[in-house]
Structure 1
Amino acid sequence: MEQDTLSIFQKIAPDIMGTIKERYLLLRHISDAEPVGRRTLAGLSGLSERVVRSHVDVLRRSGLVRFTTMGISMEPEGKALMPDLLECFLRLNNLDDMQRQIRQALGLKNVYIVPGDSDTDKTACEELGRKGALLLNDLLGSVSIVAISGGSTMAEIARMLPESNAGATILPARGSMGNHVEFQANYIAAAVAAKTHSSYRMIHLPEGVSESALRLMFESDAQARENVAMTSQAQVVVFGIGRADKMAKQRGMTDHQRQTLETLGARGESLGCYCSLDGRILYGSNNIGISLKDIKHHPHVIAVAGGASKAEAIVAVMRTCRTGILVTDEGAAEKMMKMI
């Protein structure tokens, strides 16, 4: 009945729906950046300063925000209202139905879609991280081993994760890759451990080296062998998803190797596996740790990725995965709907 009412309101008063959307997004920005000035809010939201002033005046009179000498901040009532506002916002944007259809089409436990397109919207990137962090936080305390992959989205999850006393063991899902230390799985695992007052282990094995070199390093490092063995026992695995072409280049594959993957139809990559749109693993990079091949052995699986440019990659990886939870954004979801 509630959804029907919202649908009716959308038809007879679309201008009101636009106002609600703008005020929700302003509250989201205020919550993220408080205290924040009106000019900064205008820049973050893309709204004019006049429109921002009008909206925040209403929000202040409603007791949701307050004005201070430092800028605009959230009132306790506004903070408490944010989860309900997000739920309402999702309904207003017709995301509920997309969540259901994508979940059924990909055979997943659940799908969560946050507003926006993280290709172009920084707030959508933050919402992806926030939702992933909340899902992980809900599991902490009831599990003992968590594995997390690398990437900018995983780093955002670590940043958004609330402090707790989980006391778990946090592990990198796989070895290190790339030149950005802050995006490497080892670094992110340590950040999650710090936020949750947990211990952490590291896997100091580089991604993408030859099989013989990897075997030699692995056999000579007892600590690495112990930590890798522990990843197979992880009750929670959190990972991101990349485009196959970009990840192949990032991993330093030769032009011939990249062309071969393209010819085979590789569209998505995750946990070292390159996947086709129909959910086949076409190639697995040499590395130690968790792979999509055995992801079903882990009780709780959370994939987080967004942006319209990653829609094909997400479909490819999640058709391979066929388990767990997907957190994505509106931009990716809309493109995925056309594909599935």
Structure 2
Amino acid sequence: MKEKTLDIFRKIAPDVMGTIRERYLLLRQISDAEPVGRRTLATLSGLSERVVRAHVDVLRRSGLVRFTAMGITLEPEGKRLMPELLECFLRLNNLEDMQQRICTALQLEDVYVVPGDCDSDETAREEMGRQAALLLNDLLTPDRIVAISGGSTMAEVAHCLPESNTGSVVVPARGGIGNHVEFQANYIAANVAEKIHGTYRMVHIPDGMSPSALKLMLQSDEQARENVALAQKAHIVVFGIGRADVMAKRRGLSASECQTLLSKQACGESLGCYCSLPGEIVHVTNNVGISLKDIKQHPHVIAVSGGAAKAEAILAVMRACHTGILVTDEGAAKKILTML
């Protein structure tokens, strides 16, 4: 009945749907950043200050937000309604239908699509992180090993993870790349472990080492061997997805390797594996830890990535992955559906 009512509203008042969308996103941004000023809200939402002022005045009169000297905050009633508002918002934007169609087409365990496009809306990235964190939290038990990859989206997952006493063991899924410490898998694993009062292991092996150097390092470092073996036994794997061209540059691939990726039409990368749009793994970097090739041996898999610019990459990797849960955003989902 709810769904039928919402369909009727969409048909007879499509202009109202835009207003509802804007007000929901403002509430979401207030919830994430409170107390927050109208000017900041205008910057975050991309709306004019005049439109923001009109919306928040209505929300204030409805008892959902209040104005303070520090900025705008949610009233208790606003906080209580947020889960219900999200459910309605998903229906209004046909996100449930998107989720089901992508899930069926890619034969995944489940798909979660959050509102917005993280290419232009940071709130969408935060919402993806929150959704993935909730999924991870539901899977945590003291006897489980969690492996998590690096990247800004994984850092958001760690940030959004609720504190608990599950005490799981957390390990990086792969060796490190890049110069941003806060996006390194080791650092993110440590943050997750701190949130859940668990323990963590580190893998101090950079990505892209030669096979001989990698073999020598593993032979001479017993702790590294143990930590890599632990990652390969992980019960839960959480990873991000990147564009092949961006990740090739970040990993410092040689000119010949980049040419190989180009010739084989690689468009997505995850866990050291470069994939073409049909889901074929066309190149694998030399590293230790978890590989997309063996991902099905892990009972619980959560992939998190969004933005329309990454749609091809997400589709390529999830076709290769062919298992687990995908958390993405509306921008990527719409483009994925056009390609499917």
Q: Shorter-normalised TM-score: what interval?
A: over 0.9
- Cα-Cα RMSD: 1.2
Tell me if structure 2 keeps the 8 A contact 1:272–1:287: yes
Task: Give the structure 2 partner of residue 251 of structure 1.
Answer: 251
In the TM superposition, residue 49 of structure 1 has moved relative to its aligned partner by 2.4
- Cα distance in 1 between the residues matched to 2:268 and 2:125: 19
Task: Give the structure 2 partner of residue 103 of structure 1.
Answer: 103
- SS of equivalent to 2:202: coil
Letter in 2 for 1:108: L
Task: Give the structure 2 partner of residue 267 of structure 1.
Answer: 267
In the TM superposition, residue 61 of structure 1 has moved relative to its aligned partner by 2.7
The 3 A distance-change label for structure 1 pair 50 and 160 is same
- SS of equivalent to 1:190: helix
User: How do 1:51-130 residues align onto structure 2 when only pairs under 5 Å count?
Assistant: 51-130=51-130
Task: Give the structure 2 partner of residue 50 of structure 1.
Answer: 50
- Cα distance in 2 between the residues matched to 1:76 and 1:19: 22
In the TM superposition, residue 142 of structure 1 has moved relative to its aligned partner by 6.4
Structure 1 position 153 matched with structure 2 position 153: yes
Task: Give the structure 2 partner of residue 325 of structure 1.
Answer: 325
What is the aligned-residue identity percentage?
72
In the TM superposition, residue 143 of structure 1 has moved relative to its aligned partner by 5.2
Task: Give the structure 2 partner of residue 22 of structure 1.
Answer: 22
Letter in 2 for 1:28: R
- Cα distance in 1 between the residues matched to 2:230 and 2:129: 25
Tell me if structure 1 keeps the 8 A contact 2:153–2:304: yes
Normalised to the residue count of structure 1, the TM-score between the two structures is 0.97
Letter in 1 for 2:121: D
- SS of equivalent to 2:301: strand
- Cα distance in 1 between the residues matched to 2:316 and 2:53: 44
- Cα distance in 1 between the residues matched to 2:53 and 2:317: 44
The 3 A distance-change label for structure 1 pair 130 and 143 is farther
Task: Give the structure 1 partner of residue 310 of structure 2.
Answer: 310
Task: Give the structure 2 partner of residue 132 of structure 1.
Answer: 132
- Cα distance in 2 between the residues matched to 1:53 and 1:28: 16
- Cα distance in 2 between the residues matched to 1:263 and 1:57: 56
Tell me if structure 2 keeps the 8 A contact 1:143–1:235: no
Letter in 1 for 2:89: F
- Cα distance in 1 between the residues matched to 2:122 and 2:112: 18
- SS of equivalent to 1:171: strand
Tell me if structure 1 keeps the 8 A contact 2:142–2:167: no
In the TM superposition, residue 228 of structure 1 has moved relative to its aligned partner by 0.9
How many residues end up aligned between the 2 structures? 340
**What CA deviation, in whole Å up to 9, does each residue of 1:19-70 have, x standing for no partner?**
2111101101100110111222122212222322222222223222222221
Tell me if structure 1 keeps the 8 A contact 2:208–2:251: yes
Q: Which runs of 5+ in 1 are unaligned?
A: none
In the TM superposition, residue 141 of structure 1 has moved relative to its aligned partner by 3.1
Letter in 2 for 1:190: A
- Cα distance in 2 between the residues matched to 1:242 and 1:168: 27
- SS of equivalent to 1:176: coil
Letter in 2 for 1:251: R
- Cα distance in 2 between the residues matched to 1:76 and 1:212: 60
Letter in 2 for 1:170: V
In the TM superposition, residue 290 of structure 1 has moved relative to its aligned partner by 0.6
Task: Give the structure 2 partner of residue 141 of structure 1.
Answer: 141
- Cα distance in 2 between the residues matched to 1:63 and 1:125: 28
In the TM superposition, residue 3 of structure 1 has moved relative to its aligned partner by 1.5
Q: Structure 1 stretch 209-218 or stretch 60-69: which is displaced more?
A: 60-69
- SS of equivalent to 2:40: helix
- SS of equivalent to 1:234: coil
Tell me if structure 1 keeps the 8 A contact 2:45–2:121: no
Task: Give the structure 2 partner of residue 336 of structure 1.
Answer: 336
- Cα distance in 1 between the residues matched to 2:177 and 2:47: 39
Task: Give the structure 1 partner of residue 5 of structure 2.
Answer: 5
- Cα distance in 2 between the residues matched to 1:209 and 1:71: 50
User: How do 1:200-211 residues align onto structure 2 when only pairs under 5 Å count?
Assistant: 200-211=200-211
Structure 1 position 242 matched with structure 2 position 263: no
Q: Which runs of 5+ in 2 are unaligned?
A: none
In the TM superposition, residue 276 of structure 1 has moved relative to its aligned partner by 1.4
